[in-house]
Amino acid sequence: MDGKHIMASEWNRRLKLFIQRFWQPTSACMTCMPGSWINIMSLTHWGIALHTGLLTGLLAVLLTFTPAAKLYTNRYGNAVVVGILTTIGDAYSHASHYRIPYIEHIVTGIISGLLALAASYFLEDRGRRIRAAWSRVFG
């Protein structure tokens, strides 16, 4: 492969990483904010969650330019990185809604890390485990 193809594949990998690191923190943020499911249609609520996801995704892509990018290759290292980045992104995006400062951001980071870990199991190999379970249940 020539240099152009290597660069293109690196940027494709980074784009995929951004998308993954966008939905996990956004989902975690929507889950952890007080009244999350009651306020599911709130534009303010979604704005905060999308801001957290966007910032986390950008931080994740920035880490690909450092030696810390090696952590993405291990599912547990990846989950820890995603959890930490989500905590940072959430703390930057908004003040905690809970009485104890930063507890909402930490819980959001933990949920996001768990989503990343679950996704690594279920979505690896183009969803092999999901397809296998589907075929067991529905024949």
Q: How many domains does the chain have?
A: 1
pLDDT for the residue 66: 93
- Mean pLDDT throughout 37-52? 83
Cα Rg of the chain (Å, integer): 17
- Mean pLDDT throughout 17-24? 85
Q: Mean pLDDT score of the chain, rounded to an integer?
A: 85
The pTM of the full predicted model, rounded to 2 decimals, is: 0.79
pLDDT at 131 over 90: no
Domain that holds residue 53: 3-138
